[in-house]
Amino acid sequence: MFNLKATIRKQIGGDLDKTREQGSLPAVLYGEGIKENLNLEVKDKDLEAALADAGESSLLELETDGKKYEVLIHQVAKDPVTDKFLHIDFYKPSTTKKIEAEVVLVFIGEEDASAIKNLGGVLNKEFQSVHVKGLAHNLPKEIDVDVSELNTFEDRILIKDLKLPEGVEILREADEIVAHITEPTQEVEEEPKPAEGEEGGEGTDSEEGGEKEDGEEGAGVKKEEKKEKKS
């Protein structure tokens, strides 16, 4: 289990930019058995290492003020422009009650799938992550999706095919498709359009003239009708 050290944060509220400028992030710890939220700060680099090792769905050991807590990285706030970390929430879950979490899917074996290697197919990933439920200490960091056995365009990997730790369930229908391979798309060449004056192209000057004559003839008929009405 990854160990992350934190210190008690002295500055509460107000301008926390100084904390960030010094390479630390404001954080808070709450959850089961914690009566009052603990305001903490952790080093940027340590948080990055924790995310790489545990992700946001598996437990890590948070050590602060001489105590250790098994926690989840519950929420990470980032600057929408710079993508830098701004704040982090640590959550201490129950040891006896199941919780829900989002777990990323990692697709492996693509280079060995016959439908890709031999038939030129394209891998379609229906999900990038799944919502799961289980005891916190059973939750995985990620779930592997092995696509190496997709040999035809009819083969499918379903939710029920995914391998999970004991006691963990995916909160989706068992027969939902996770991944499949489709045939490569073929580009259809457009037929060249005929140039002006060629058969099927725009009308010629003589044809346009003919249309005008028809219009004039129609106008003449209307004039004759008006004369008859006056007489």
* CB-based contacts of 73, cutoff 8 Å, min separation 6: 50, 51, 54, 55, 56, 60, 88, 89, 90
pTM of the model: 0.71
For residue 194, the model assigns a pLDDT of: 65
- Residues 117 and 33: their CA atoms lie apart, in Å, by 53
For residue 100, the model assigns a pLDDT of: 94
Q: 100-182: which CATH topology?
A: RNA Polymerase Alpha Subunit; Chain A, domain 2 (2.170.120)
For residue 184, the model assigns a pLDDT of: 84
Is pLDDT at 215 greater than 80 in this prediction?
A: no
Tokens 């289990």 appear where?
Answer: 1
Helix (H) or strand (E) holding 116: helix 114-117
124 phi, psi to nearest 5 deg: -110, 120
pLDDT tens-digit map of 65-121: 899 999 999 888 888 898 888 899 999 999 999 999 999 999 999 999 999 999 999
Cα-Cα-Cα-Cα dihedral sign, residues 119, 123, 124, 126: positive
Burial of residue 74 (number of CB atoms within 10 Å: 0-12, 13-18, 19+) = middle
Domain ranges of the chain: 3-93, 100-182
CATH number for the region 3-93 comes to: 2.40.240.10
Q: What Å distances lie between residue 94 and 35, 132, 229, CA to CA?
A: 14, 16, 99
pLDDT band at 151 (very low <50, low <70, confident <90, very high): very high
For residue 19, the model assigns a pLDDT of: 79
Is pLDDT at 186 greater than 90 in this prediction?
A: no
- Please check whether the two domains, 3-93 and 100-182, share a CATH topology: no
